[in-house]
Amino acid sequence: MHIRSHYLLYQQCCKEQEIPENHYTIPQAIWKEMEEEKRGSKGKKQAKIDWAFEKENGKRAFTCEGVLNAVAQLVACDDQVKWERS
């Protein structure tokens, strides 16, 4: 982390000795610029789609159908349950 404060000197030394720079030494601002240049015209910033989802406020009623739906989504969609045979 400390070398980031001496990045220009580090960069110059690496160029002189033909050593590749370690990505951890590059300050975040410079790293972001480099990433944007790599993307060029093909990459655009990802837009947020929060407007497409409705947020539920307050408590929901507890129902058997709701529990069954939640368990089905857990097992089928997220595949978080793993069965082991003994």
Report if residue 9 sits inside a domain.
yes
Report if residue 7 sits inside a domain.
yes
Report if residue 16 sits inside a domain.
yes
Report if residue 28 sits inside a domain.
yes
Give the whole-angstrom CA distance, residue 56 versus residue 35. Answer: 37
- Assigned token pair, 58: 């307050």
> 3-class DSSP state for residue 42?
coil
Model-level pTM greater than 0.85?
Answer: no
Domain limits for position 23: 2-39
Q: What is the pLDDT along the chain (86 residues), one digit of tens a residue?
A: 677 778 888 888 889 999 888 878 888 888 888 888 887 755 566 677 776 777 767 777 788 888 888 888 777 665 655 666 65
Report if residue 15 sits inside a domain.
yes
Domain count, the chain: 1
Amino acid identity for residue 19 in this structure: I
